[in-house]
Chains A and B, each alone.
Chain A
Amino acid sequence: MSMSNPVPASSTDFNEINFENVKKKQKVMSFTKGMLFLLPSIVLFGAFLFYPLFKTMYLSFFLTNARGETTVFVGLQNYIDMFASPIFHQSMKSTFLFVLYTVPTTIIIALLLAVLANEKLKGIGFFRTIFSSTMGISVAAASVFWLYMFHPSIGFINQILGFLGVESIGWLTDPKWALIAVAVTTIWMNLGFTFLVLLGGLQSIDSYLYESADIDGAGYFYKLRRITIPMISPTLFFVITVTIINAFQTFGQIDILTQGGPQNSTNLIVYSIYREAFTNYQFGTASAQAIVLFIIILIMTIIQFKLGERKVHYQ
């Protein structure tokens, strides 16, 4: 186009160059501006998240001294030792059992509570507050509450069992029961958050769906099965993955209730990492375990994103 006429062409060229320059300048400007807004977050993510993650990978190939400095490069030996260790096997087994004990139970109870609390009744706000209350209770306080509940002699649960004529159980000292006791505590703790999110999901369901079902004369449980559950499936899905991820990250309950015992039956993965690193000062093997934890969470998060995305498109 600019070739058609020599005289205006030069002027257009001149303009174009100027235009390009301004555009480039603007690009640099907007890039700098964007970076300025994002820099604080990026710097902190880099320093306390990405760098430590790579450092963990690095450490997992070394032996370290008590200060955490690397001493001998051992390659994959930490991983080989870890996968051969019966204690690690026990820890993985307990962790997966723990996920199995806590996740379905938490979701089912929270869903029942949310369905109950979704009814339009007088004073329902009070019940909603009670059901969500455990979200405000810290892991330390919740563990102390349940430490009493599970107390062998004065604990509430054994008192009830005694009343029913059942022999008292060493909830936190019997390897058969300790993991279940920690699971019960965890379910109770997570109930508040799960309830609140599920209630939010229920409330976002359009009421006309129920109204038209009413016209068709559908019963309560039919509506529950055919409208409520399908409509909150995205929320349900989110809650399931979050609860699983939380279960893998369990620490505080263990530290207060059982310290990983008895016989390592409650030595869940984060507690195992903690003990290996900060009690035994084996930072290399602890890092190898941390990488296993990272991979598990990574897989869970990817599943959540992939399936969650599909759900959003579906809507």
Chain B
Amino acid sequence: MTMPISKKIVFYSLLTISAFVVFAPALMAFVMSFMDNKDIMTGSLPQSLSFDNYLKAFEQFPLLKYLFNSLVVSVVITIGQLVLSSLAAYAFVFLEFKGRDILFFLFIATMMVPFEASIIPNFHIIRDLNWIDQYPGLTVPFFATAFGTFLLRQNFKQIPRELREASQIVGMGDFKFYLKVVLPVAKTSLVTLGAYGFLTSWNMYLWPLLSTTNDTVRTVQIGLKQLQTQEQLNDWGVIMSGAIIVIIPTLILLFLGQKQLQKGLTEGAIK
């Protein structure tokens, strides 16, 4: 299948224009983060580029602390989600017991409850557990996910039943089979789910806003809000440098795992 040159030109120009439009806000922020505040305020093109804004952002705000907190929160949530959803998916695929279908329905039902609708009692629970400004308060409520369970269930179903039967003949128990056979076989799905979990936890906003009141465990997203509201001089360069720092880890993750994510999302979504 070869395309005529004229058609190619049309496609490439359309692609280039759309890419520019889509990426423009991020690109502008990136350039601004290296610009002098005077240039930004007068709307001129950058006269000089420097890392000053980044240095200022790190000096005036505990950005490193925020980044560290976000990393801890995201990694813990990701691991929690992987463990819980792979265990649950295993039960739904390989174990047969009474009440399984009811429990499966229960998992489906969780998708109908938006977290925002139950946020008030959740806040009170965390407060009563003394988990405000604590890592558990930021992470534990997000360990169980129906999406993750369904995604892995879809993948586990492709593992041949004969494999389980053979392992039973050898006398391999369920937990060992789960650990030694199922998890390694489903590695790519686990990576996909992990990347997705990390991405969404890193970008969480409402819950960290509610459950942190000081800098001890505050995540970088809320740090960025602080930076934006407290920056008295309206120093856009500093604000943008903060925003760029926030998006770099997730953008890298997305660039590396884009193909995987795309496949995983469609699989989990459609079936």
Query: Which A residues lie at the B interface, using CB under 8 A?
Result: 27, 30-31, 33-35, 37-38, 40-42, 44-45, 47-53, 55-56, 59, 68, 112-113, 116-117, 119-121, 124, 127-142, 144-149, 154, 156, 159, 188, 191-193, 196-197, 199-201, 204, 234-235, 238, 242, 245, 248-249, 251-252, 255-256, 270, 273-274, 277-278, 283, 286-287, 290-291, 293-294, 297-298, 301-302, 305, 312
Of A41, A139, A191, which is within 8 A of B149 by CB? A41
Give the distance in Å from the alpha carbon of A248 to the alpha carbon of B114 in the complex.
10
CB-defined contacts of A56 to chain B, threshold 8 Å:
117-118, 120-121
Interchain CB contact under 8 A, A140 and B266: no
- The smallest C-beta distance from B97 to any residue of chain A, in angstroms, reads 4
- Chain B contacts with A in 255-269, Cβ cutoff 8 A: 255, 258, 261-263, 265-266, 269
8 of the cross-chain contacts (CB-CB < 8 Å) are A30-B95, A45-B106, A50-B110, A119-B3, A127-B18, A130-B23, A196-B258, A200-B262
Give the distance in Å from the alpha carbon of A134 to the alpha carbon of B22 in the complex.
8
Q: Which of B51-59, B138-146, B162-170, B184-192 contacts A (4 or more CB under 8 A)?
A: B138-146
User: Which of chain B's residues has its CB closest to A35's CB?
Assistant: B97
CB-defined contacts of A40 to chain B, threshold 8 Å:
83-84, 87-88, 143-144
Give the distance in Å from the alpha carbon of A117 to the alpha carbon of B12 in the complex.
10
Interchain CB contact under 8 A, B87 and A140: no
- The smallest C-beta distance from A282 to any residue of chain B, in angstroms, reads 10
CB-defined contacts of A41 to chain B, threshold 8 Å:
84-85, 87-88, 107, 143-144, 149
Interchain CB contact under 8 A, A283 and B258: no
Q: Beyond A37-B88, A145-B28, A297-B114, is A256–B120 a contact (Cβ under 8 Å)?
A: no
Q: Beyond A121-B11, A132-B258, A138-B202, is A53–B113 a contact (Cβ under 8 Å)?
A: yes
Interchain CB contact under 8 A, B112 and A136: no
Pick from A59, A140, A286 the residue with the most CB of B within 10 Å.
Answer: A140
Give the distance in Å from the alpha carbon of A305 to the alpha carbon of B271 in the complex.
11
User: Which of chain B's residues has its CB closest to A210's CB?
Assistant: B1
B161 within 8 A of A: no
- The smallest C-beta distance from B15 to any residue of chain A, in angstroms, reads 5
- The smallest C-beta distance from A40 to any residue of chain B, in angstroms, reads 5
Q: Beyond A34-B100, A133-B254, A138-B246, is A116–B117 a contact (Cβ under 8 Å)?
A: no
For the side of the interface on B, what is the size category?
35 or more
User: Which of chain B's residues has its CB closest to A146's CB?
Assistant: B25
Give the distance in Å from the alpha carbon of A124 to the alpha carbon of B3 in the complex.
14
Q: Is chain A's interface secondary structure helix, strand, loop, or mixed overall? A: helix
Of B125, B199, B265, which is within 8 A of A200 by CB? B265
Pick from B88, B144, B242 the residue with the most CB of A within 10 Å.
Answer: B144
CB-defined contacts of B209 to chain A, threshold 8 Å:
255
Of A30, A37, A42, A133, which is within 8 A of B26 by CB? A133
Interchain CB contact under 8 A, A136 and B199: yes
- The smallest C-beta distance from A278 to any residue of chain B, in angstroms, reads 7
Interchain CB contact under 8 A, B270 and A249: no
Give the distance in Å from the alpha carbon of A37 to the alpha carbon of B3 in the complex.
54
- Chain B contacts with A in 87-125, Cβ cutoff 8 A: 87-88, 90-91, 95-100, 103, 106-108, 110-125
CB-defined contacts of A301 to chain B, threshold 8 Å:
111-112
Interchain CB contact under 8 A, B239 and A297: no
User: Which of chain A's residues has its CB closest to B242's CB?
Assistant: A144
Of B99, B116, B242, which is within 8 A of A251 by CB? B116
CB-defined contacts of B233 to chain A, threshold 8 Å:
none
Q: Beyond A40-B143, A113-B18, A141-B246, is A249–B224 a contact (Cβ under 8 Å)?
A: no
CB-defined contacts of B106 to chain A, threshold 8 Å:
42, 45
Interchain CB contact under 8 A, B22 and A131: yes
Give the distance in Å from the alpha carbon of A302 to the alpha carbon of B40 in the complex.
49
| 20 more CB-based (< 8 A) A-B contacts, given A148-B28, A256-B228, A297-B112 | A27-B98, A33-B174, A38-B87, A68-B120, A119-B11, A130-B19, A132-B254, A133-B22, A136-B255, A139-B205, A140-B203, A144-B239, A197-B269, A200-B263, A242-B269, A273-B119, A274-B206, A277-B119, A290-B118, A290-B120
